[in-house]
Structure 1
Amino acid sequence: MGKRKKRSWGLIIITGALMFYIGTVLVKQQAIMNSQRQQLKQLEQNIEQEKELNEKLLRQKEEVASEKYNEKIARESLGMVKNGERVFVDVNQ
């Protein structure tokens, strides 16, 4: 019977060590999963921000390509006028 008790204590110690190891692995895995969930959430927010920026840039692109915008820039920045238009200059300014 002495050998049997020694074996059972050895088995208990090995089982306890194995359970402890499995527990620590599970805790570490949970921490990694939480970190990855946080990273995923941040990436989803970044994607949403980039989509909004992309939509804004597409609207600006359409605006810049319009004839009305080109005319506005030509008049304001370049001082151009249409044929037959008269330009009045306020001398008081």
Structure 2
Amino acid sequence: MNKRKRPNWFLIIVLLIGVTNLSVIIIKQQSILNAQRAEMEELALKIEEERELNEKLLEERERVLSDEYIEAIARKELGLVKEGERVFVDINR
């Protein structure tokens, strides 16, 4: 009673379909992962640029709030002078 076992074609077909579907899913997931990785790198660069801009703006704020800057604007834009200073006006201009 040495019967040779025949291959179960239904099982083979189901396994092939399963492996094919699994391969398709893995490929799709990999492409999604690559796209998200690229987006993360782009966002990281944007974050770094925004940090640099923020740092420059904080430095500008410190400069604008300094007494020297306020005095320079008061003299230039408003024509103000310190007490005891003399103002000479060039009438040839």
Structures share a fold, TM > 0.5?
A: yes
The Cα shift of 1:57 comes to 0.9
Q: Which residue of 2 aligns with 1:60?
A: 60
Q: Using the alignment, how far apart are the partners of 1:10 and 1:83 within structure 2?
A: 103
TM-align CA RMSD: 1.4
% of aligned pairs identical?
Answer: 47
Unpaired runs of 5+ in structure 1?
none
Q: Using the alignment, how far apart are the partners of 2:8 and 2:76 within structure 1?
A: 94
Post-superposition Cα deviations, 1:15-58, rounded to whole Å, max 9, x if no partner, equal 10000000000000000100010110011011101110110011
The Cα shift of 1:86 comes to 1.1
Quick check: 1:12 aligned with 2:12? yes
| SS of the residue 1:77 aligns to | helix
Q: Which residue of 1 aligns with 2:37?
A: 37
Tell me which amino acid in the other structure corresponds to 1:76. K
Unpaired runs of 5+ in structure 2?
none
More helix by share: 1
Runs of 4+ in structure 1 over 4 Å off = none
The Cα shift of 1:11 comes to 0.9
Q: Using the alignment, how far apart are the partners of 2:76 and 2:70 within structure 1?
A: 10
Q: Which residue of 1 aligns with 2:73?
A: 73
Tell me which amino acid in the other structure corresponds to 2:18. L
The Cα shift of 1:69 comes to 0.6
Q: Using the alignment, how far apart are the partners of 2:39 and 2:10 within structure 1?
A: 44
